[in-house]
Amino acid sequence: MKNYNIALIPGDGIGPEVVAEGVKVLKSIEKMDSRISFSFQDFPWGCEYYLEHGKMMDDDGIEKLKAFDAIYLGAVGYPGVPDHISLWDLLLRIRKEFDLYVNLRPITLLNDSLTPLKDKTKKDIDFLVIRENSEGEYAGAGDWLFKGKPEEVVLQTGVFSRKGTERIIRYAYEEARKQKKTLTSISKGNALNYSMVFWDEVFDEVGKEYPDVETYSYLVDAASLYFVSDPERFEIVVTSNLFGDILTDIGAAITGGMGLATGANVNPEKEFPSMFEPVHGSAPDISGKEISNPLAAIWSVSQMMDFFGEEKWGAAILDSIKNILEETNQLTPDLGGKASTPQVGDRFTEILKENAISKGIIAK
Ligand code: NAI
Ligand code: MG
């Protein structure tokens, strides 16, 4: 019996609604598969916590989280708390302290009807973006000089270390080799004449160790165009923190929007817990109405199962999302249905069970 210890940070707004459905899925797996069990601990951190305690998480919050195998996060952010505080003091703090330097964002079209791209189908849009998640343009380095004066100057410095650049690129090559897929690096060496020239050099250098991996290299502006016009070019993509942030939102747009986009923040060495979260925010406009779409959060559970080495369950969850997307009446309003958040979760667990039986993961 393998037990996985999961820290829950549901957060604000619709975060708790969608995390509850993800937990429902995990509990259903535990019930179906006698080899696996989960333990959960809930942490109340987020913006409401901030308004009450003046901080986003406990002072020893990072210490508390260290013992877990994974962190499952909903969303943080709420009107009244500045976004740079909620982001930097919780999410980015966890990403940095736990060295979650790999961000995995699947850009996979699960149902043809979900893409706004004319003539593109599931076989055209199926790739993985590996985003650098620990430094680069989001290192937080810089200065604000002569604040408020006419000579005011701000500096926002990109930080690209050899260690940081090499490890993310190496991770991407390993993934491309493992999956027997092409690898595309996205950078901007013509304009960013230090950081991105360095990035391109490291990409070529590390590539010498992977002669079996077919590679491509695009400038980020051209790549943005190809994401929309020619997504079938991409299989595995590696890119910097800022470029990855922006490109993966294009990726979300071509695969069905925020209700479906997911991301894993991974420390591959497993020195610290990795964090799994839907990409969307706390959606204050719809929170409390039970109409939030839990499928992105459920996709995060699929990524978590892959990360645990339970790939059969990871794949079964993804297939079940494909199946439920065929049943429009079982979906939330953002996908054209009338179902509530918990109704989607309930129907989902039924489908997952059917799939687990038909795939032979569990006995009938
Ligand atoms: P958002 O993702 O919360 O919402 C954007 C739009 O998408 C809204 O119309 C919302 O109703 C809709 N939407 C999002 N998730 C949905 C779901 N699961 N089902 C159905 N509809 C969904 O982004 P927004 O409005 O820019 O930000 C709101 C708050 O969330 C801000 O405080 C922001 O800082 C925070 N935020 C937090 C993130 C995180 O915790 N990772 C990521 C992005 C934003
Ligand atoms: Mg983003």
Yes or no: say if 260 and 252 are a contact pair by the CB < 8 Å rule. yes
Task: Give the atom of ligand 1 at the shortest distance from the alpha carbon of 11.
Answer: 40
CATH of domain 102-259: 3.40.718.10
Residue located nearest, by CA, to atom 23 of ligand 1? 281
Kind of pairing between the strands at 136-145 and 153-159 = antiparallel
- Probe target for ligand 1 pocket from 14, 57, 280, with the most ligand atoms within 8 Å of CB: 280
Lookup result for tokens 């996709």: 299
176 within 8 A of 153, measured Cβ to Cβ: no
SS3 143: strand
Ligand 1 atom nearest the C-alpha of 294 is 18
- Per the structure block, which two tokens stand in for 201? 């050099």
Ligand 2 centre and the CA of 70: distance in Å? Answer: 21
Predicted confidence at residue 79, as pLDDT, reads 87
Total-model pTM: 0.94
Give the nearest ligand 1 atom to 334 CA.
Answer: 20
Residue nearest to atom 38 of ligand 1 (CA): 281
**Separation of 14 CA from ligand 1 center, angstroms?**
8
- C-beta of 167 in contact with ligand 1 (< 6 A): no
Is there an atom of ligand 1 within 6 Å of 292 CB? yes
Provide block-wise average pLDDT over 10 residues at a time, the chain (364 residues): 96 97 98 96 95 94 96 93 89 93 97 95 97 94 96 97 98 97 97 97 98 98 98 98 96 91 96 96 95 97 97 97 94 95 98 95 85
Instruction: Check pocket membership of 46 for ligand 1, CB cut-off 6 A.
Output: no
Asked if residue 107 has its Cβ within 6 Å of ligand 1, the reply is: no
| Ligand 1 lined by 82 (C-beta under 6 Å) | no
Residue 188 confidence (pLDDT): 97
Atom index in ligand 1 nearest the CA of residue 78 equals 32
Instruction: State in Å: Cα 298 to ligand 1 middle.
Output: 16
CA of 201 to the centre of ligand 2 (A): 27
Ligand 1 atom at minimal distance to the Cα of residue 73: 40
User: Residue of the nearest CA to atom 16 in ligand 1?
Assistant: 259
The closest ligand to the CA of 246 turns out to be 2
Handedness of CA 11, 296, 248, 258 (dihedral sign): negative
pLDDT at position 258, please? 84
Domain-wise residue ranges, the chain: 1-101+267-364, 102-259
Ligand 1 atom closest to 77 (CA): 32
Which of these, 275, 354, 347, 290, lies nearest to 101 by C-alpha position? 275
- Dist. CA 275 → ligand 2 center (Å): 15
The residue type at 268: P
CA distance 281 to 202: 34
Taken in order 101, 107, 258, 158, is the CA torsion positive or negative?
positive
* C-beta of residue 254 within 8 angstroms of C-beta of residue 120: yes
Nearest ligand 1 atom to the CA of 14 is 18
Distance linking the first and last C-alpha atoms of the chain: 20
Whose alpha carbon is nearest atom 33 of ligand 1?
A: 77
Ligand positioned closest to the Cα atom of 336: 1
Q: Does residue 275 contact residue 1 with C-beta atoms inside 8 Å?
A: no
Q: Give the tokens for residue 171.
A: 């991770």
Measured between alpha carbons, how far is 311 from 322 in angstroms, rounded to an integer?
Answer: 17
CATH superfamily of the domain spanning 1-101+267-364: Isopropylmalate Dehydrogenase (3.40.718.10)
